[in-house]
Amino acid sequence: MEATAAPSTHARGHVASPPGGDEEKSPPERTVYMDYNATTPLEPEVIRAVTAAMREAWGNPSSPYPAGRKAKDIIDAARENLARMIGGEARDIVFTSGGTESNNMVIHSVVAQFHKSHTSKGDTARCRGPAEGALPHVVTCTVEHDSVRLPLEHMVEERVAAVTFVPVSKVSGQAEADDVLAAVRPTTCLVTIMLANNETGVVMPIPEISRRIRALNQQRAAAGLPAVLLHTDAAQALGKRRVSVEDLGVDFLTIVGHKFYGPRIGALYVRGLSEQTPLHPMLFGGGQERTFRPGTENTPMIAGLGKAAELVTENCEAYEAHMRDVRDYLEERLVAEFGEKIHLNSRFPGTERLPNTCNFSCRGPQLQGRLVLAQCRTLLASVGAACHSDHGDRPSPVLLSCGVPFDVARNALRLSVGRSTTRAEVDLVVQDLRQAVARLEGWPGTEGAS
């Protein structure tokens, strides 16, 4: 595989430098980016695909002349590449602006379909179903991304739907299948559980949940109850492990390009789109994306997304093996350097996690995650999800949900390595962390250390 240069002041290459970089300053500080769960740089091949589409496929994809047909061909090829990456059918892929839109579209669609089905006249097949006026019910878990949690909370406030937030296990860090199924009611129409958590890297038992829901749906059909559909937000998993919609058994799957070295757009997989699984548009306009997501297509970004998906299909095992090796080395070095002061927050015995994610805390009253990062001169990382960057020193709700003690969770750092992160960079980061901790704790001889 061809590795992408890591974003750093010493390795700018084909990727953008991280915020705050200034090539005019001399000499620049060496920085190492370890926040790949927040976003990734574009692969060189992706940049080439985007720029080629900008030059050569500028036509409207709905137009019949050559420039329009070329744009449409590029979009069709990208759709095929996305389908191949997840083991699905191209006709079941709808392009969106990103993960937030895809997640909102799923929730909107299933709730709208419930209301539509239960307000239709003369539907005798529904007479044994949920009582008239009953709200659609959604099951999710307590560690979901805000683009799932907040729309659901809004629907509860507006009395459009009822929602159950299932706690994750403090033993496994997962939303357990037993707990998810126990939350299902006669009015349940959707279960939405992320495939992998963005802070801990914990992989959820989606195949088991899917098998249990399929068996349950057979019983519900006999009782005249609506089928329960299953959605997973696969934003963090794609590009880090193989993802197959057949193995997962999901009805909906969210795809986010900028998490796997693609542009900041996304897509939604819908099994048997419109024939087997309903999808209701949130926007109305032209007939693009078969009217499910109208608006003139962003051909260059779709081209880049398709190329990023193609690279994942070709290289996923190599990407995964490399990231796992570097992440494991990082954790070994942290334990060797800090000993009992380190608490690895994302290790749950017997639970699979993403190969690139290390969430840890340095124990100590002065070692809150934000303070440690502020002292670091090499490491570029985060204390948790990028969308929670304004939460101050409050501990991550995800870590608290997983049973991490308050004082430990408040000190958490999330390091996520990428396709080109090296062991040498890990050594630099661990040294940087050691010096940052020493400065905060006032160790002798650390003032001004670099």
Phi, psi at 331, each rounded to 5°: -65, -35
Which residue is catalytic, options 316, 358, 387, 402?
387
| Site of tokens 């796997």 | 260
**Beta bridge pairs of residue 269:** 93, 253
Task: Say how far apart CA 40 and CA 257 lie, in whole Å.
Answer: 9
Is 376 designated active site? Answer: no
- 360/351 Cα distance (integer angstroms): 17
User: Quick one: which H or E segment has residue 380?
Assistant: strand 379-380
Residue 290: both structure tokens together: 């078969």
Residue 383 buriedness (CB in 10 A; 0-12 / 13-18 / 19+):
buried
Opening angle at CA 378, ends 374 and 380, nearest 5: 65
Q: Which residue has the tokens 């519900």?
A: 220
What distance lies between CA 51 and its chain's CA centroid?
26
- State both tokens at 447: 């003032």
122 CB-near residues (< 8 Å, 6+ apart)? none
> How far is 244 from 169, CA to CA, in rounded Å?
25
Phi-psi category of 249—alpha, beta or left, where left has phi over 0 and alpha has psi -120 to 50?
A: left
The answer to whether the CB of 202 falls within 8 A of the CB of 353 is yes
The gap between the terminal CA atoms of the chain, to the nearest Å, is 35
Which residues fall within 8 angstroms of residue 187, CB to CB, at 6 or more apart? 114, 130, 134, 135, 136, 137, 162, 226
Active site residues: 387
